[in-house]
A = this chain, B = another copy of it.
Amino acid sequence: MERIPILKMGRFLLVTIQVDMHDELAMTLQEDLTGRIIEDRAQGVLIDISSVEIVDSFIGGMIANIAGMARMLDAETVLVGMRPAVAITLVELGMSLSGVRTALNVDKGMAMLQAAREEKRRFSGSY
């Protein structure tokens, strides 16, 4: 299983990280995800990392990259299910993941994306 599945839920995409990431898998995920954002006209990306127990600068960088790419394509990124140990490590590594929102779980992450979308619509005055 050489790809991480990207699930479409309404206007959002969900990615669950379950396996150890390596260079090639991370590249494939980034390509797949950016492609799917366009294809599905996704307005948000949820990345579930509740299974991730250990994080390093590679994974941290990958998440920051994905969020940056998604933003370019007009989609918000929300990181869900972060374990306390992972939060500690990310801060210790000096990766603040600025611009990436976090939520406790998928439900809350989706609510956050929906709220962000509503707000955007109100300010832009259009759909």
Contact = CB atoms under 8 A, between A and B. Distances in A.
A39 interface: no
Interface residues of A, number: 23
Interface stretch (A49-57, A66-74, A90-98, A112-120): A49-57
A10 to B, nearest CB: 7
Interface string A22-35: 00000000000000
A52 B5 CA distance: 10
Contacts of A7: 14, 16, 48, 50, 81, 105-106
- Considering residues A1, A4, A81, which has the most beta carbons from chain B within 10 angstroms of its beta carbon? A1
Given A7-B106, A9-B110, A14-B106, 9 more contacts: A1-B51, A1-B53, A4-B51, A5-B18, A7-B48, A8-B105, A9-B106, A10-B107, A14-B14
